[in-house]
Amino acid sequence: MTKPIIEVKDLAKNFGKNQVLKDITEQVTPGQVIVVIGPSGSGKSTFLRCLNLLETPTSGEVDFAGENLTTLDTKRVNELREQMGMVFQSFNLFPNMTVLENIKLAPMKVKHMDDATATKRAHELLKQVNLDDHADAFPASLSGGQAQRVAIARSLAMDPKVMLFDEPTSALDPEMVGEVLSVMQQLAEQGMTMVVVTHEMGFAKSVADRVWFMADGFIQENSTPDDFFSNPQTERAQDFLSKILM
Ligand code: ADP
Ligand code: MG
């Protein structure tokens, strides 16, 4: 069996008295695309943020590439975190830098990549997200869909082993959702390991290897998309699916 790249064991997270995650044990193997779906407030963002220790778990363990993040010092956590790209609903591009500079920044600063290599790599990544003609543009001139594709390219510039996406298309106008999802689909086809929180059921159906349905702080179902959408097992999932547009 393939070794997991991410392994979560008995993960729990409380905010004060609020038990947001209650004992999650799951794993992600290299190349897998996991889509996490579930109602608002069910703990999806908290779960994703626990995977790279942006949130500190209250108890349990998160292993990344065989190392238990919850026992490592900050320096090692930061090194491993560089291998997990994260894309949020908001793009958080640096407004005072061009698209190209946004992408070059982390590889040069953190990895000490030389300018010529970083520039070359940034152009390759911009081609991959169909934006090389916008290399010298400033973020304010981009549409939401373009900005999110730059944010994806910027994450990829660190050569992550895993990409985490938290509702990457939720803030976009509907006509821009497709261009972002298609970049993500290509990334999946190239073998990137991905954990994606999304409400895009079409993406879940066509790209996910597994759907994790989260509600009330648990992963209630872990199924293939076919099984999940045609034959949800829990009442919670049946109820959720009956309320969303497909
Ligand atoms: P989802 O992403 O599924 O909508 P979240 O993980 O954002 O859910 O939130 C789950 C619960 O945790 C919510 O009740 C939310 O209010 C609470 N929560 C999330 N982040 C914090 C925080 N930093 N401090 C306190 N409560 C939080
Ligand atoms: Mg969320």
User: Per-residue pLDDT averaged across 32-55, rounded?
Assistant: 97
For ligand 1, atom 14: residue with the closest CA: 41
Q: Could you give the CA distance from residue 170 to residue 40 in angstroms, rounded to a whole number? A: 12
Distance 44 CA to ligand 2 centre (A): 5
Instruction: Tell me which of 246 and 24 has the higher pLDDT.
Output: 24
Distance 41 CA to ligand 1 centre (A): 6
Report the mean per-residue pLDDT for the chain: 96
| SS3 call for 187 | helix
Do 6 and 33 touch, CB atoms closer than 8 A? Answer: no
**Backbone CA torsion sign across 202, 203, 204, 205:** positive
How far lies 164's CA from each of 20, 42, 132, 181, 197, in Å? 19, 17, 23, 14, 8
% of the chain residues with pLDDT over 70: 99
State residue 131's pLDDT score: 97
The whole-model pTM stands at 0.97
Q: Which residues of the chain form beta strands (DSSP E)?
A: 6-15, 18-28, 33-37, 59-64, 67-68, 84-87, 162-166, 193-197, 210-215, 218-223
Residue 163 has pLDDT above 70, yes or no: yes
Residue 245 has pLDDT above 90, yes or no: no
State residue 246's pLDDT score: 62
Question: 2 pLDDT band (50/70/90 cuts)?
Answer: confident
pLDDT in tens, 184-212: 999 999 999 999 999 999 999 999 999 99
Q: Kindly list the protein residues whose Cβ atom lies closer than 6 A to any atom of ligand 1.
A: 15, 18, 20, 40-46
Distance 40 CA to ligand 2 centre (A): 7
pLDDT in tens, 71-111: 999 999 999 999 999 999 998 999 999 999 999 999 999 99
% of the chain residues with pLDDT over 90: 98
| Distance, C-alpha 58 to centroid of its chain | 22
State residue 244's pLDDT score: 85
Instruction: Give the position, in ligand 1's atom list, of the atom nearest the Cα of 55.
Output: 23
pLDDT in tens, 14-43: 999 999 999 999 999 999 999 999 999 999
Q: Is 101 left (phi over 0), alpha (psi -120 to 50) or beta?
A: alpha
